[in-house]
Structure 1
């Protein structure tokens, strides 16, 4: 229900059991669904009737998760994917084709940077990377007549700068394109980018939404607010020959984008979320509000400790009073600035590696944003494919450590850091 608060939606939304039906979302572990007539199946394939007919396209367990996240973000619909990378790729491919162009913040996850700079380029889609903190005029200068989207992360991974969503939305809309925001680190609990003008939201549900490091997944959420009938997006407006000439904007109105993403790209690429992963992800989502409160409070205390330590050169955490992003954090993230900290240790790269190897509670894992405290060296792992110049542009120093603060007792986390120093 729209009147429910976010905490209630995390638990109650997305699935409504009928009389005598399971109270907890069931795992519909079936690839197919039975129907009584050929005519009914034909209507399903022609998108004339609602329902599930093949789990690649839709599934009741996956649908429950989609409905919940759409409600949390305030969108008209959502689409689960096999991973966060799949969500990023499908979100772009849904409105771009060979010969098109997008503009992206240069402060984004290394895997997304590689997807945009290398893989999309092979598909004929060019990407221009810009400093999200540059002036509106400078960012706008990267746009071209064939630009189809502007992309950024609410809290960038791992630079942790906060995106000025309203500024970016104004730039995107002035140029007739949607703003796509990766809201993974913020989650729907800490920030709702649609409230500030974003048009499409994506998440790696593998991170805080799942929260327990059990399930890889992604999701795309459609605000339903962007007008696709501006002449730049024929794929959404003109007849689709694979559905007997159906027009998405004509047939599905403000849900055109998310319907097309499902019935074209999940249909053809097949990067769907499994029912089991959807079940586990939804289970994690039920405690998102509780976990994020602890992640935020723990991370702020750890960041303040690191800032006071003589072993540390610098600390990046948007919640710190000293952070250059504090004003943006207060505007967009009033409940807290998530659980990830970046810091630079004295002694360079070798000292950083030595420190990480001595940690006992915090584990070295190629992951962030679950209940367990974790640590990683981005320059030699998640952002390893980037050149030295690209690393510098993304704000990643050789001695930078990314610390994902879990929900353990914060005194134990700090004690572990102290003994490693």
Structure 2
């Protein structure tokens, strides 16, 4: 091999892994073990002092899980990554080294309903808070950031409406304010977008979705760009000052670009325990091997289905950014040149009742609270994933009562359309 950068599909198969040195096994083994034998007392001490990279206890690190983290870091262009037990765990893990009582984040109002609830309600129990703003209003974003703000948060392609965030513009604001931009790249995947190249500091994923791609794993990933200067101010003492939770180690000056990743392992996973299991990591590694192939079909099918829906007289509106009629079409072309993803909503004439009838009459589509599966999925967000939000929050998030969310799979697109057609006929009869 030469030193030329490897392509996406090559990285998706090879990054972060090598044949097992003990057996020569080509596929990453499932290291189903809790603990690892130290060579001697000095070896153990070096590991605990972070002077040597190795394995101590599988709540912290595990070879199978580490292979997954390294592969996603390579695909995203990051310095390091950690794998967690779920996408929601990844969000808390992403914030954990940054936050403290009385600190806040500024977040897009167009987010997955569970994320809005996590940020608006659950993180209050840690003494943290969130301010939600329309991230298209850059002046409002800048105005919302105050001295206690520790991060700016958005989704590349917002769930459920398919809205495209202006990541470069948000990154410029975050840089100006001296805080990291955290981007949830779940619905785009690194095949469509690499937020770090657009200026993001951290990228989070629900590995449950497209990375695994087959609905078998619950998992999350946090990728660190390794580019943020955590010592530029006193805003991030866990990284820039002696950390009392790890015998006074000063992570950033000591560990440089890997400071955030090692802090998340040594303290975050150690104390919060949001660890991914090795079998789940193995399944996700296998799923990532075909990520590029799947995403190409997902996007191609979604474009065809969205164009068909837009022309159907039974449909009021379609939110897919791949349509020229979308207010985010130009942004999608600029930031996601391979396509606008495979997640979007459409409004059906007849409102809430028609949406419920549509859900009850699909046959090929699966009615589940998931997305990013090889199968086409459908859900009525207002009564399920976004049910806990107020009507105003539902509208702001792109989940009003008269829309359904589609996650377009990789089946034959004619079959996808035929199923929607027959279900819409019954729903609007």
| Shorter-chain TM-score tier | over 0.9
Match of 1:108 in 2: 111
Q: 2:153 aligns with which of 151, 154, 162?
A: 151
Output aligned runs, 1:114-153, within 5 Å.
114-134=117-137, 136-153=138-155
In 1, Cα distance between the equivalents of 2:392 and 2:317? 21
Match of 2:376 in 1: 373
In 2, Cα distance between the equivalents of 1:18 and 1:377? 45
Match of 1:11 in 2: 13
- For normalisation by structure 1, the TM-score amounts to 0.98
Task: Summarize deviations over 1:212-248 as a string: whole Å, max 9, x none.
Answer: 0000000000001111112211110111123322111
SS of residue in 2 equivalent to 1:292: helix
Check if 1:178 corresponds to 2:206: no
Match of 2:85 in 1: 82
In 2, Cα distance between the equivalents of 1:18 and 1:25? 7
Task: Summarize deviations over 1:72-104 as a string: whole Å, max 9, x none.
Answer: 000000000000000011111220011111100
What is the deviation of 1:2?
A: 6.5
Unaligned stretches of 5+ in structure 2? 425-429
In 1, Cα distance between the equivalents of 2:295 and 2:135? 26
SS of residue in 2 equivalent to 1:141: helix
Q: 2:386 aligns with which of 373, 380, 383?
A: 383
SS of residue in 2 equivalent to 1:127: strand
What is the deviation of 1:409?
A: 0.2
In 2, Cα distance between the equivalents of 1:287 and 1:161? 26
Contact 2:97 2:236 in 1 (8 A): no
Q: 1:58 aligns with which of 55, 58, 61?
A: 61
SS of residue in 2 equivalent to 1:140: helix
In 1, Cα distance between the equivalents of 2:391 and 2:4? 47
In 2, Cα distance between the equivalents of 1:97 and 1:320? 42
What is the deviation of 1:41?
A: 1.3
What is the deviation of 1:40?
A: 1.2
Match of 2:259 in 1: 256
RMSD: 1.1
Unaligned stretches of 5+ in structure 1? none
In 1, Cα distance between the equivalents of 2:407 and 2:168? 27
Match of 1:198 in 2: 200
In 1, Cα distance between the equivalents of 2:332 and 2:194? 13
In 2, Cα distance between the equivalents of 1:185 and 1:242? 35
Q: 2:226 aligns with which of 209, 224, 227?
A: 224
In 1, Cα distance between the equivalents of 2:397 and 2:421? 28
Question: Are residues 98 and 2 of structure 1, via their aligned partners in 2, closer, same or farther at CA, if it must alter by over 3 Å?
Answer: farther
What is the deviation of 1:122?
A: 2.1
Task: Summarize deviations over 1:397-418 as a string: whole Å, max 9, x none.
Answer: 1011001110000000001111
Check if 1:404 corresponds to 2:404: no
In 2, Cα distance between the equivalents of 1:43 and 1:364? 51
